[in-house]
Amino acid sequence: MSIRMVLIIILFSFCNETFAQENSIDKEVLRHFKIVLWPQAYRTQDTELLDSMLHKTFEMIDNSGSRSTKAEELETVRKFPWNPSNFRYTIERLEIYGSKFAVISGTGTTDTYQYKSSNYLIKEHGRWQAISSHVSGFRTE
């Protein structure tokens, strides 16, 4: 094996290890984003926090199929309090593609209802933002 080939293998191994570490860090950031920050922004009606989390092209599709823009979502959060008892979100899928696109899906549960959601996020300028959220399967407990 030539020196050149050995150097290429070492470089490739280093890049794979670096990518795996970045991917692991991004997954922790995304878990915190979805499990802690997202419900916090809604519960406290913190439209400033939510604004920073949602990409300018964000779109929500609710359980009935209605669509809303980022501006409409922020206005809804501003006007209507959301404080369900014992809310928890369980991530069932968290995938990162090419270190710039992520999918988070799972189940939101409270004492009185449950739903499924899928969220799509992109990473721009070193920061993750949601570009889409889709809620379905809403049912009361």
How far apart CA 52 and CA 71 sit, in angstroms, is: 12
Is 22 domain-assigned? no
The pLDDT value given to residue 103: 98
% pLDDT > 90, the chain: 82
Is 23 domain-assigned? no
Question: pLDDT, tens digit, for every residue of 12-68?
Answer: 554 444 445 568 899 999 999 999 999 999 999 999 999 999 999 999 999 999 999
Q: How far does the chain reach from its first CA to its final CA, in angstroms?
A: 64
* Full residue range of the structural domain in which residue 47 is found: 28-140
Is 86 domain-assigned? yes
Regarding pTM above 0.85, the answer is: no
Is 100 domain-assigned? yes
